[in-house]
Amino acid sequence: MRAPLFIENVYKSVIEAGFNVIDLYLKNEISVYEIRKAGFNIHKTARSCESEIIKIAIRSLGHAVGTGHMKEHAMVCSDYAVKTVQLLFPNQKEKITEERKWQLNELKKFHFQHDNYI
């Protein structure tokens, strides 16, 4: 079952809240406990999704938020993003390759901008 190309308002608010939590954490305005709680809430929302595409996309966000307490969530986040692309564009391996290359390029840019962070 293909998801609509728009995201229903309820999921849009979860996504926006997820990115907001990441921003707050990066500014040291919330604790690890709060970011973990936010990640768990995002995954709870994902479990309630009927659309597999939206469910996987929201799981990717949940793992992005989860990097605040455990950096290993970053790898799972990137894999869920690739899976989202795979579901959106079945049998189009070039789209999956494009997504993974984009991820690697973003990681390289981050590394060069924050070489003292890593």
Instruction: Output the tens digit of pLDDT for each of the chain's 118 residues.
Output: 344 444 556 677 888 888 899 899 989 999 999 999 999 999 999 999 988 999 999 999 999 999 988 889 999 999 999 999 999 999 999 999 999 999 999 989 877 776 655 4
- C-alpha distance from residue 91 to each of 70, 88, 96 (Å): 33, 10, 9
Can you give the residue range of the structural domain that contains 78? 9-113
Q: How many domains does the chain have?
A: 1
Tell me, yes or no, whether 2 lies in a domain. Answer: no
Tell me, yes or no, whether 118 lies in a domain. Answer: no
Tell me, yes or no, whether 63 lies in a domain. Answer: yes
| Closest residue by Cα to residue 38 from 60, 20, 54 | 20
Whether the Cβ atoms of residue 47 and residue 24 lie closer than 8 Å to each other: no
- CA dihedral over 76, 77, 81, 87, signed as positive or negative: positive
Q: Which pTM was predicted?
A: 0.81
| Closest residue by Cα to residue 63 from 47, 43, 37 | 43
